[in-house]
Amino acid sequence: MKRKFCCVFYLLLILFLMVSSCKDSGTKPPDYPVEWTFLGLEGMLIDKLVLSKGKLYACAGREGLFRLNNPSGNDTQWEYLGLADARIGDHRGVSDVVTLNDTLLVSHYASSDHYNKAGISRSRDNGKTWTAIDSGFIKNTQYPTSAFLLTLDQSPFNSDIVIAGCVSDCSDIYLSKDFGLSWETKDILPLKANVRFDIARFHPTNENEIWAGMNIEYDTVRPFLYRSVDFGENWQTIIERPYDPDAPSEYLEDIAFSSEENSTIYVAIQQTIIKSIDFGTTWTTSFDTLDSGIFWNITNHPNDRNQLIACSTDSLYQTVDAGKTWTALVAKPENTEMMKDLVVDWSNKMLYVNTYNPSNGIYRLHYK
């Protein structure tokens, strides 16, 4: 009887240790050396990083557009592709880029004193020369200019189809079906307001589906997220946080989709990542940094629904179980104040971040 009791006791002890090990594995820091590699562009305010066909693009606002042709290797020589204008203020100028073979589309965001630097620039020779595109853009009533464009996205089903989010009092997003040669408006809000649609994204598995998000500044900032299943003809409100002067500001920063479950979406709002498995009808909290850093980006693995990496101000976090648990992957590079943008090369297990202060710049990490 005593021997039987001991066997049961040791069996339970082993099971307890196994369960404890599984629980702890989601919170432990990496047990391997973490080495960031500095890739350059020191001193520049980079608004967005784009990884396309193995090349890394840096949208540097008024400094123009830069490209690193072999970012996963030893290449640290950035190629300047033009479009700089020092007269434009910080966080203005080149805001995003999409590519199709040797053709590049670049969005611009300016201000009323340099309105001719807003809109789309198109290059047919891989960034050597540029042509301004204005076909289909509605003139703002406040400023005599085309749209101030903030973000671009390509359809995963047809690379000629592009959407653009803008800040405008005439339209909310624009749609092009000929890779930027002409554009049509897709209005979301019934009343025109000078708002910023920082998010305009195609769904990766639902062909006609577009998601668009913005933040409206009152005394506090309130997030809004919309969904269309018919290429922007009609819109459904997914997230709408009405004005409340006593509520803290909440910024909608990014969204990501599951690569396999088309009804699953992740949204970054301030220090929290929320998740929906029913196209945004209901939400649960997937992760909360508890005020330790704002989430700027969420990036999903294109072929594995369980893997996502999120970038906060201070750290990168990874989930391998579709957001049930998150692991601290790595802290920001040493001697930097914050990380602001993240792109992931899933095939080569490389990630790239943009940093702010004291000297800014782009960093690379080979993760496991």
Q: Side-chain half-sphere of 40: how many Cα atoms within 13 Å?
A: 14
Helix (H) or strand (E) holding 5: helix 2-24
Determine what percent of the chain is predicted with pLDDT higher than 70.
Answer: 81
Residue 205's nearest CA partner among 160, 157, 159 is 157
226 close to 213: Cβ distance less than 8 angstroms: yes
Q: Work out the average pLDDT over 61-78.
A: 92
Give the residue with greater pLDDT, 352 vs 240.
352
**For residue 268, is pLDDT > 80?**
yes
User: Rounded distance, CA 348 to CA 131, Å?
Assistant: 34
For residues 14 and 74, which has the higher predicted lDDT (pLDDT)? 74
Residue 20, Cβ density class (10 Å: 0-12 exposed, 13-18 middle, ≥19 buried) = exposed
The predicted structure's pLDDT at residue 85 = 82
Averaged over 292-301, what is the pLDDT?
89
Determine the average pLDDT of the residues in 80-101: 86
Region 103-117: mean pLDDT is: 72
Q: Is the backbone of residue 93 left (phi > 0), alpha (psi -120 to 50) or beta?
A: left
Average pLDDT, the chain: 83
Query: For residue 228, what are the contacts with CB-CB under 8 A and spacing of at least 6?
Result: 186, 208, 209, 210, 211, 212, 234, 235, 236
Can you state the percent helix, strand and coil of the chain, rounding each to 5?
Answer: 10, 45, 50
- What pLDDT score was predicted for residue 89? 66
In what side-by-side order are the strands of the sheet with 55-59? 48-52, 55-59, 65-68, 79-80
What pTM value is reported for the model?
0.86
Inter-residue contact 298 to 253 (CB < 8 Å): no
Would you say 95 and 125 are in contact if contact means Cβ atoms under 8 Å apart? no
Indicate if the pLDDT at residue 86 is higher than 50.
yes
User: Tens digit of pLDDT for each residue in 18-60?
Assistant: 333 333 334 344 444 468 999 999 988 898 999 999 999 999 9
Q: Is the pLDDT of residue 241 over 60?
A: yes
pLDDT of residue 12: 42
Check whether 150 has a pLDDT greater than 80. Answer: yes
Domains of the chain as residue ranges with CATH: 85-250 (2.120.10.10)
DSSP state of 112: G
